[in-house]
Amino acid sequence: MPTTPDQLFAFLDSLGLAHPTVTHPPLFTVEQSQSLRGKIPGGHTKNLFLRDKKQAVYLVTALEDAEIDLKGLHRVLGASGRFSFGSSDLLLELLGVTPGSVTPFGVINDREARVTVVLDAPLMEHAIINAHPLTNTMTTSMARDDLVKFLEATGHAPRIERVSGLTPEAG
């Protein structure tokens, strides 16, 4: 069974990490979530669940308005061939979430550490980062360094690299 939001919050508490959370109607897209911008400060995220040609899995988390060149991203990250989006079945299997709820918090369900987490460098310029806590009916705010501590505690030390705003030639 995938981890529930309450179990996630208990894990965050056990790590001593603050996680203020706002409940709201379900949000499936970045466009829908923009209605909350005045109420929730910090960097708001979008998440790309990707697979390369050798089936390695990546979760790329960036600012919601970041432009990411998917055709060249594999070169930036040293992946095997171009990326494709991971299936909803694989998403549920590894991160325990469904499309519309993809989040870095999902790695709590990836107990074999199959997913490589990539945090876009411009996202990490924000002191507070916002993401869904395993459901798209809530948004959790977390200090940037605490998000890294959470990821490390789950065995997913993140790669922090600029993956947005690159020209196709740079990728």
- pLDDT of 71 > 90? The answer is yes
Residue 25 pLDDT level (bands cut at 50, 70, 90): confident
pLDDT of 28: 66
Return the structure tokens found at 128: 């507070």
pLDDT tens by residue, 95-150? 999 998 999 999 999 999 999 999 999 999 999 999 999 999 999 999 999 999 99
- Spatial CB neighbours of 90, under 8 Å, sequence gap ≥ 6: 49, 51, 57
pLDDT at residue 155 tops 80: yes
Q: Which residue has the higher pLDDT, 25 or 3?
A: 3
Q: Which domains does the chain have, with CATH numbers?
A: 5-33+40-161 (3.90.960.10)
Q: In the predicted model, is pLDDT for residue 90 greater than 90?
A: yes
Using the predicted structure, report yes or no on whether residue 33 has a pLDDT greater than 80. no
Query: What is the DSSP pairing of strand 128-131 with strand 115-120?
Result: unpaired
- Ramachandran angles phi, psi of 67, nearest 5°: -100, 120
Residues 133/5, Cβ–Cβ less than 8 Å: yes
In this prediction, residues 30-36 reach a mean pLDDT of 68
Give the separation between CA 69 and CA 67, rounded to whole angstroms.
7
The percent of residues above 90 in pLDDT, for the chain, comes to 85
Alpha-carbon distance 52 to 82, whole Å? 6
* pLDDT (0 to 100) of residue 36: 66
